[in-house]
Chains A and B, each alone.
Chain A
Amino acid sequence: MIEDLSMHLADLIQNSLRAGARSIGISLARLGGSLVLEVSDDGAGIPEDLLPRVTDPFFSTKPGARVGLGLPLLVQTAEETGGECRVERREGGGTRVWARLGWDHPDRPPLGDLPGTLVPLLATHPEVEFTVELSDDRAKWTLSTRELREHLGEVPLAHPDVLRLLERELAEGLAQVGLKEER
């Protein structure tokens, strides 16, 4: 099923896209002994009365879907590593999903192939502005697709040279902020 944290992130991003988001913020931080991940969007948001149910594995807002396993699995994963996961409505619309996991906990899934997961998603949604922020206690690395597009003009992010550059940059970003795993 969802084997690594980059898959969890991809799943959260899909939820944001499905909610019609035009701006999606993705952040991953290694703070002290914790790994904190967050995806926030300006999409349709979750109605107040449904909020307590979104982490129920037998609940889904998707038409035809019987179960929505993404969020419940993230909650379970976070709690198994001594952390927690919260799903909140954002003021002014949209949703914020925040999870804290124990970095050194043996049950923490690996980060997985973050560049290989995020870059194709970022590149195939020209209508959405993505911001990616990677950080630790000392440093911060950011990427904004809006800024990239300003520099690239008519050239799409899905252009092969851009894809390669983005994957390389993201991998370097992960290494800069201590998010590179030796597993």
Chain B
Amino acid sequence: MKLEELRKIRERAEADLRLRGGPTRVKIVVGMGTSGIAAGARATLRAILDEVARRNLRDVTVTQTGEKGLAAQEPIVEVHEPERITIYGEVDEALARRIVAEHVVNGRPISERVVAVREVKG
């Protein structure tokens, strides 16, 4: 591993964090069980990480989980916001990028691709 490169990344990223700061606003969870992986969840997860990075979204975290019990609709992507969790099904790379751009950035869920919405009780 190139330690010098890691050090530079750390310096840049920490300076950036100090500049932008702020808590996490949205959490994006990608379902990657066996069926999700077979259905293309790897490309979905990479597309989301890439889109979040490209847009420099510092208040968004991306994580992943195993089987979600919705095998027929995988890859599954959940968008966790303070008031609700929106679940998308059959998320390919293109839809993954749209979810970040339209839902996460502009606050407009892509309703025709939403599988379920769960309200979060405060």
Chain A residues engaging chain B, CB cutoff 8 angstroms: 1-3, 7, 10-11, 14, 17-18, 62-65, 68-70, 113, 116-117, 120-121, 123-125, 143, 147-148, 151-155, 158-163, 165, 169
Contact = CB atoms under 8 A, between A and B. Distances in A.
A143 B45 contact: no
B6 to A, nearest CB: 5
A146 to B, nearest CB: 12
B69 A64 contact: yes
Contacts of B30: 124
Contacts of A152: 6, 9-10, 13
B13 A161 contact: yes
Nearest to A150: B6
Given A11-B34, A155-B13, A124 B1 contact: no
B114 interface: no
A62 B69 CA distance: 9
A2 to B, nearest CB: 6
Given A124-B63, A155-B14, 18 more contacts: A10-B37, A10-B42, A14-B33, A17-B66, A18-B67, A64-B69, A116-B46, A120-B46, A124-B30, A125-B64, A143-B1, A151-B3, A151-B10, A154-B14, A155-B17, A162-B6, A163-B49, A163-B53
Interface string B33-77: 110011000100110011001100000011110110101000000
A64 B66 CA distance: 13
Chain A facing B: main interface SS: helix
Contacts of A154: 14, 17
Contacts of A153: 10, 14
Nearest to B30: A124
A24 B10 CA distance: 25
Contacts of A7: 37-38, 42
16 contacts: A10-B32, A17-B66, A116-B46, A124-B45, A124-B63, A147-B1, A151-B3, A151-B6, A152-B9, A154-B17, A155-B10, A155-B13, A161-B13, A162-B6, A162-B9, A165-B5
B108 interface: no
A1 B38 contact: yes
A162 B53 CA distance: 11
Interface in B1-41: 1-3, 5-7, 9-10, 12-14, 17, 30, 32-34, 37-38
Contacts of B71: 65
Contacts of B64: 120-121, 124-125
B62 A158 contact: yes
